């Protein structure tokens, strides 16, 4: 559970602003969900894994068990099935929220996770899957992460593969465990134990080699021939084809042996990665059965981006954005004229910090540098000293060069805004 200091908080707000700017531009509407839920109300959408990780408390009034939300998607699913039951479909919703899950302190996983996500509710065709993947990738692109990729799979392909093995329920569970661990030797041993010959076991164990580009789809057909698997491959072909339309084909990796979340997802699944980061920064997929646990069934797909990991990824690759507490430092005593100038500069879109110390311009400049503020503004008609206060004109000084100009308040604001527009977003917008 992270504590963010001012600079990191500004970066976090910049990321949130960038993400929601993209989501709104695609027609996604923001919703807010409760931090606490009654366990019996939300449990149908959580599954045993998340219920086990949920933090619980007792309601003082009723004694009912409540949980800190461990996931937002079930809340959105319940919203779609109840409060928004009669809303037009397709329905596009998005959110930003913290979720809480118990993790062993040595497991390397966060217990508080900051998420931004989107849900596309209603359509079941591959174009909806492609939209949600492309949307997630555009969010990462807006963040400025280099080399972002998406690894896609389909739970139906693994289901078809598992059916083709003919394994018993007990054997299927062992095979799923071995595939999840990417243990090819164990997979082949289990297949031979279930009666497959050497060549058959080797062919089916080829599931673990199905990672790469679009050619993987052709190779997959030689690994398993089952109706469920073929249907999954057809969906993936459609999605990959549409990724080309979005200009994202070079960012797509297919991984047909990725089965994490199989109990939750019902179709396409994907994970989001960034260059130089060894873990996913987001994940998503299709979950057609989820909304039906709260009301009438409805196909849905979505994703969630892990904002904390994303911020760590940006820290690793470095960011050109220079954090500044304000745009300008107004160096003046807090009288009527200077307060009027500050109010006008803020109205024009600047962040203004007041310097009210009775001190020299060098002292004000030192303070501005310490806060990474690029400009000093002084009231006055001739720019000589902090005490010359006339509202009609201001003196604008650039800290980097210490060169000053006498301008109207509006012209000074325009000069600062123009320079700010040339710099990477520093969290001020």
In terms of phi and psi (left: phi > 0; alpha: psi -120 to 50; beta: otherwise), the region of 58 is beta
CATH number at residue 242: 3.30.930.10
Q: How far apart are CA 356 and CA 57, in angstroms?
A: 49
Q: Give residue-wise pLDDT tens across range 298-331.
A: 999 999 999 988 888 777 766 545 677 799 999 9
Q: Burial code of 344-365, b = ≥16 C-beta within 10 A, e = fewer?
A: bbeeeebbbbebeeeeebeebb
pLDDT in tens, 355-370: 877 667 788 899 999 8
Burial 247-269 (b: 16+ CB within 10 A, else e): ebeebbbbbbbbbebbebbbbbb
Q: CA dihedral in degrees (283, 287, 290, 295; nearest 10)? A: 130
**In the prediction, which pLDDT does 356 show?**
76
pLDDT value of residue 362: 86
Q: Please, are residues 260 and 145 in contact by the beta-carbon 8 Å criterion?
A: no
Q: Which of 317, 346, 371 is the last residue of a domain?
A: 317
Residue with tokens 């962040």: 351
SS (HEC) of 308-345: HHHHHHHHHHCCCCCCCCCCEEEECCCCHHHHHHHHHH
In the predicted structure, residue 427 carries a pLDDT above the cut 50: no
How many other β-carbons are positioned within 10 Å of the β-carbon of residue 424? 11
User: How does the average pLDDT of the chain come out, rounded?
Assistant: 89
Q: Is residue 257 part of a domain?
A: yes
How many Cβ atoms from other residues are within 10 Å of residue 11's Cβ?
Answer: 20
**Total structural domains within the chain:** 2
The encoded tokens of residue 118 equal 């989107």
Nearest partner of 232 among 158, 289, 288, judged by Cα: 158
Residues 6 or more apart in contact with residue 171 via CB below 8 angstroms: 165, 190, 193, 194
| pLDDT band with cut points at 50, 70 and 90 for residue 137 | very high
- Residue 329's closest CA among 357, 303, 306, 307? 357
Check residue 319 and give its pLDDT.
54
- Residues 89 and 202 placed together within one structural domain of the fold: yes
Residue 20: CB atoms within 10 Å: 17
Question: How many residues in total does the chain contain?
Answer: 429
Residue 295 has what pLDDT?
A: 95
Residue-level pLDDT at 107: 53
188 has a pLDDT exceeding 50: yes
Instruction: Dig out the tokens for 142 from the structure.
Output: 């807006």
Q: Tokens 């992270």 label which residue?
A: 2
Residues 6 or more apart in contact with residue 365 via CB below 8 angstroms: 376, 397, 399, 402
User: Are residues 136 and 41 part of one domain?
Assistant: yes
pLDDT at site 419: 87
Can you give the residue range of the structural domain that contains 403? 328-422
* Same domain, residue pair 217 and 246: yes
**From the CA atom positions of the chain, what is the Rg in Å?**
28
Q: Is 275 found in the same domain as 357?
A: no
Coil, helix or strand for 243?
Answer: helix
Percent of the chain with pLDDT over 70: 92
Q: Is the pLDDT of residue 140 over 70?
A: yes
Whether residue 428 lies inside any domain: the answer is no
Is 427 within the bounds of a domain? no
**Which one of 262, 288, 317 terminates a domain?**
317
Flag whether 356 is in a domain: yes
74 located within any domain: yes
Q: How confident is residue 199, by pLDDT bands cut at 50, 70 and 90?
A: confident
386's tokens: 């902090």
């Amino acid at each position: 559970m992270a504590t963010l200091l001012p600079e990191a908080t500004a970066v976090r707000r910049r990321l949130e602003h960038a993400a929601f700017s993209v989501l709104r531009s695609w027609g996604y509407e923001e919703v807010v969900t409760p931090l606490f839920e009654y366990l019996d109300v939300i449990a149908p959408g959580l599954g045993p894994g998340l219920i086990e990780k949920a933090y619980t408390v007792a309601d003082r009034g009723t004694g009912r068990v409540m949980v800190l939300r461990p996931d937002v998607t079930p809340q959105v699913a319940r919203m779609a099935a109840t409060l928004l039951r009669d809303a037009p479909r397709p329905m596009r919703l998005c959110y930003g929220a913290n979720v809480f899950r118990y993790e062993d302190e040595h497991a390397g996983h966060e217990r508080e996770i900051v998420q931004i996500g989107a849900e596309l509710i209603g359509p079941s065709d591959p174009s909806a899957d492609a939209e949600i993947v492309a949307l997630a990738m555009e969010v990462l692109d807006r963040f400025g992460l280099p080399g972002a990729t998406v690894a896609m799979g389909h739970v139906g392909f693994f289901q078809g593969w598992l059916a083709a093995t003919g394994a018993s329920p007990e054997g299927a569970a062992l095979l799923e465990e071995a595939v999840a661990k990417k243990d090819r030797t164990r997979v082949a041993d289990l297949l031979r134990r279930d009666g497959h010959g050497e060549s058959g076991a080797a062919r089916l164990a080829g599931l673990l080699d199905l990672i790469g580009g679009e050619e993987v789809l052709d190779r997959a057909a030689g690994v398993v021939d089952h109706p469920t698997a073929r249907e999954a491959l057809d969906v993936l072909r459609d999605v990959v084809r549409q990724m080309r339309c979005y200009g994202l084909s070079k960012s797509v990796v297919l991984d047909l042996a990725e089965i994490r979340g199989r109990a939750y997802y019902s179709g396409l699944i994907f994970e989001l990665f960034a260059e130089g980061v060894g873990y996913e920064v987001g994940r998503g997929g299709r979950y057609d059965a989820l909304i039906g646990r709260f009301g009438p069934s409805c196909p849905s797909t979505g994703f969630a981006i892990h904002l904390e990991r994303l911020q760590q990824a940006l820290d690793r690759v470095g960011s050109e954005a220079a954090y500044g507490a304000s745009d300008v430092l107004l160096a003046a005593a807090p009288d009527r004229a200077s307060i009027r100038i500050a109010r006008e500069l803020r109205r024009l879109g600047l962040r203004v910090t007041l310097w009210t110390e009775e001190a020299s311009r060098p002292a004000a400049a030192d303070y501005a540098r310490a806060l990474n503020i690029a400009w000093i503004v002084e009231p006055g008609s001739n720019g000589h000293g902090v005490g010359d206060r006339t509202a009609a004109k201001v003196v604008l000084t650039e800290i980097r060069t210490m060169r000053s100009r006498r301008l109207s308040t509006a012209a000074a604001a325009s000069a600062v805004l123009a320079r700010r527009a040339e710099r990477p977003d520093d969290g001020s917008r």
